[in-house]
Amino acid sequence: MISKKVILTGSFGVGKTSLFNQFIYSRFSDKYLTTIGVKVNKKTIEVNGREISLLVWDIAGEVSQDKVPTSYFLGASGIIYVFDLTRPSTYKNLEEDINYLKDMVKGGIIKVVGNKEDLVTEEQLEEVKKEISMPWDITTSAKTGKNVESLFQQLGAELLD
Amino acid sequence: MFDLKDQGKPSTPGFSQIILLDERGNIVCSNDVLFDSSTLLNQSIFSYFPLLESVYKNLNILKNKKEVTLKRVETSFKDLPGFYDFTIRFTEFNGQVFLLWNIDDLTDLYSLFQKHQQSKNEIELSIENLKFLQDGAFEDYLEDKNKLLAILNTENFNYANQIQHALNYNQNAIEGFDFLITNLFKLDEDNQEHNALQDAIESFAEIIVELENLSAILKKKKTPAKSKNNIEKVFFEAIEKIESQHSKNLNVGMDLNIDVFSHSIDQPQFLTKLFETLIVNSYSDHFSSKIDLNIVAKSSKQISILVKKTFNLDQTNGLSPENIQLLSMEIYLRCSLLKELVKFYGGEIENPEGGSEHFSILINLPLQTNLGSSITDNS
């Protein structure tokens, strides 16, 4: 079976661990607990009849991606860059961060995710779209689980291509 | 299976475990300091540690990098709760591929670090959320919070230093791997242990000779400032030598906080810490079970340290008679080192209980000092 390393990254408090827990364990907690290092777990999903094992790395949030230890990126095939739809500070450096990540994981798949959809209205979401210089791939809610499975399915499909 | 028992060493403040894995992720040997690896025998460790599988999948990259260090790892393995630094190194011997995996337990320090990081992040989040405040209220709030952040940043810096300090010790285990791998296949266990103990003995003997030389020099010197500098210099050199032994992964029971040397030698806290450390180091070998210290101020010029050691002789079972003898010599020499240092301070070792493992030390403080409440029961 194919297995691929995927990294969840982004600023602190954007919900990376919540997405990780929702995807791996199907659970969510409202309590915020800072991740200071790295947690890794594995989940096998089926994409178009093929199985792929995703080794997901949940790493400590950094305001700027160049502060993430480079050793974390070793052998990564996919990156999920998460920002918080309710906090402009978490997407103000989006383009810069994505360019940096592209350099770190050459040829890897990068998915940009706007999380905490449950906390914004349609109007607010439109405002965020205007503010952000580049489109993001998917809007999720780790709390309700909305689009979490879809996110990893999409990523898995692209990794299998 | 090879036996790595005694290759791991207690470090400051945590412990390290060394595990050798084959190319399928099966455990070849482990010193089992942190968890009992025997429960995982004949199983691939990758199923318990997906992180390792992830790293292993990139073995070719790792081959070029030689080693990868992953800091502050949280595992889902039930026998390893907490925060650890992993160092994973690729190695090859006789055409066979191995992964050397070093686990440094830094749970205590990283837990504190996490609390502070959490406070920092929560403050930053609250600042972001309260930007709508009017009439200067936000600026006032921001000023208060920034002051708090500055304090937390300083504390985090201190934690970072402590963590680095601990890692300097823990790094020894991984450095010891070269020695281990080179010798593992050609030396039997007794030879390894013999060499390690012999090396430690020679080192401690050197330190004692130096201290004795210094004693002689000091008697002729009358300038206190110069004497003080000499004492500090020799202490540094002695400690460096001990650390050097420690860095060779020789289990000499070190538990020294080098930060004590940043304080003046005249300070009672310095002396207390120094002797506390030296006593523990002198009387603690890797087979002993417990050292209790009770430090009290007898007067403004004198401190007393009551030392109790509880032996667990069962742990020496399995050692060859030659190595037991070497071990005894090592302990004897370390005790001699302690005695020399007590002599430096014009102190004396009392033995009111009549037993060599239960004694007290009286140390005269070098200058007029004001003993605070910090020197109390330290058992």
Convert the pLDDT of each residue in A60-92 to its tens digit.
998 889 889 888 888 899 999 999 999 999 999
Dist CA B28 CA B133 (whole Å):
62
Q: Does B48 have pLDDT greater than 80?
A: yes
Distance to chain A for B246, nearest Cα, Å: 28
CA B239 to chain centre: 13
Dist CA A109 CA B227 (whole Å):
65
In the prediction, which pLDDT does B2 show? 36
In the prediction, which pLDDT does B53 show? 85
pLDDT bracket for residue B252 (50, 70, 90): very low
pLDDT (average), residues B205-234: 43
pLDDT (average), residues B262-276: 49
**Interface pTM, i.e. ipTM:** 0.89
Exposure of A13 in the CB half-sphere (CA atoms within 13 A): 21
Lowest mean pLDDT among B39-43, B112-116, B176-180, B187-191: B176-180
- For B257, the token pair is 């906080």
Question: pLDDT tens for residues B63-112?
Answer: 565 678 888 999 888 888 889 988 888 777 677 777 888 888 888 778 87
Contact flag A55-B117 (C-beta cutoff 8 Å): no
pLDDT (average), residues B174-193: 40
Question: pLDDT tens for residues A107-133?
Answer: 999 999 999 999 999 999 999 999 998
Q: Select the more confidently predicted residue: B90 or A18.
A: A18
User: Against a cut of 0.80, is the pTM above it?
Assistant: no
Contact flag B61-A34 (C-beta cutoff 8 Å): no
Task: List the one residue out of A44, A55, A70 whose CA is nearest residue B57.
Answer: A55
Dist CA A116 CA A141 (whole Å):
5
Contacts B117 to A, Cβ<8 Å: 34, 36
DSSP one-letter code for A140 = -
Q: Name residue, tokens 């390393």.
A: A5
Contacts A87 to B, Cβ<8 Å: 125, 128
Distance to chain A for B139, nearest Cα, Å: 18
DSSP string across B224-250: HHHHHHHHHHHHHHHHHHHHHHHHTT-
Q: Which residues contact A160 (CB under 8 A, 6 or more apart)?
A: A2, A47, A48, A50, A52
Contact flag B58-A74 (C-beta cutoff 8 Å): yes
Residue of B nearest to A38 (CA): B73
> Position B372: which residue type?
G
Determine the 3-state secondary structure of A64 from DSSP: coil
Which residues of B make CB contacts under 8 Å with A? Answer: 49-51, 53-55, 57-58, 61-62, 65, 68-76, 83, 110, 113-114, 117-118, 121-122, 124-125, 128
Q: Which residues contact B223 (CB under 8 A, 6 or more apart)?
A: none
Contacts A69 to B, Cβ<8 Å: 70-71
Distance to chain B for A23, nearest Cα, Å: 15
Q: Select the more confidently predicted residue: B247 or A120.
A: A120
Using DSSP bridges, classify how beta strands A78-84 and A2-10 pair: parallel, antiparallel or unpaired: parallel
Q: Which residues contact B235 (CB under 8 A, 6 or more apart)?
A: B261, B274
Q: Name residue, tokens 């708090």.
A: B148
Which residues of A make CB contacts under 8 Å with B? Answer: 3, 5, 12-13, 32-42, 55, 57, 60-61, 69, 71-72, 74-75, 87, 89
Contact A31, A83 (CB under 8 A): no
Contact flag A55-B124 (C-beta cutoff 8 Å): no
In the prediction, which pLDDT does B281 show? 54
Q: Does B31 have pLDDT greater than 60?
A: yes
Distance to chain B for A133, nearest Cα, Å: 21
Using DSSP bridges, classify how beta strands B290-299 and B96-105 pair: parallel, antiparallel or unpaired: unpaired
- For A33, the token pair is 């607990």
Contact B52, B88 (CB under 8 A): yes
Q: Contacts from B342-351 at CB under 8 Å and sequence distance 24+?
A: B342/B275, B343/B215, B344/B211, B344/B215, B344/B218, B344/B231, B345/B271
- Minimum-distance CB partner of B61 among A3, A35, A74: A74
pLDDT (average), residues B363-379: 37
CATH top class, domain B16-107+168-177: alpha beta
- For B220, the token pair is 């002729």
In the prediction, which pLDDT does A123 show? 93
Q: Name residue, tokens 């004693």.
A: B215
Distance to chain A for B110, nearest Cα, Å: 8
Cis peptide leading into residue B13 (ω within 30°): yes
Domain residue ranges of chain B, discontinuous segments joined by +: 16-107+168-177, 108-162, 187-364
Dist CA B202 CA B96 (whole Å):
36
Dist CA A81 CA A94 (whole Å):
9
Residue of B nearest to A84 (CA): B125
Q: Which residues contact B214 (CB under 8 A, 6 or more apart)?
A: B230, B231, B234
- Minimum-distance CB partner of B61 among A12, A55, A75: A75
Q: Does B328 have pLDDT greater than 70?
A: no
Q: Select the more confidently predicted residue: A72 or B362.
A: A72
Contacts B74 to A, Cβ<8 Å: 35, 37-39
Q: Does A55 have pLDDT greater than 90?
A: yes
3-state secondary structure B149-182: HHHHHHHHHHHHHHHHHHHHHHHHHHHHHHHHHH
Contact flag B72-A60 (C-beta cutoff 8 Å): yes
Contact flag B54-A69 (C-beta cutoff 8 Å): no
Dist CA B91 CA B63 (whole Å):
8
Contacts A13 to B, Cβ<8 Å: 121, 125
Using DSSP bridges, classify how beta strands B83-93 and B348-355 pair: parallel, antiparallel or unpaired: unpaired
In the prediction, which pLDDT does A110 show? 97
Lowest mean pLDDT among A4-8, A25-29, B105-109: B105-109
Contact flag A39-B74 (C-beta cutoff 8 Å): yes
Q: List the helix and strand counts (H, then E) for chain B.
A: 8, 9
pLDDT (average), residues B111-119: 81
In the prediction, which pLDDT does B227 show? 37
CA B59 to chain centre: 31
Which residue segments constitute the domains of chain A, with CATH numbers given?
2-160 (3.40.50.300)
pLDDT bracket for residue B216 (50, 70, 90): very low
Dist CA B126 CA B114 (whole Å):
18
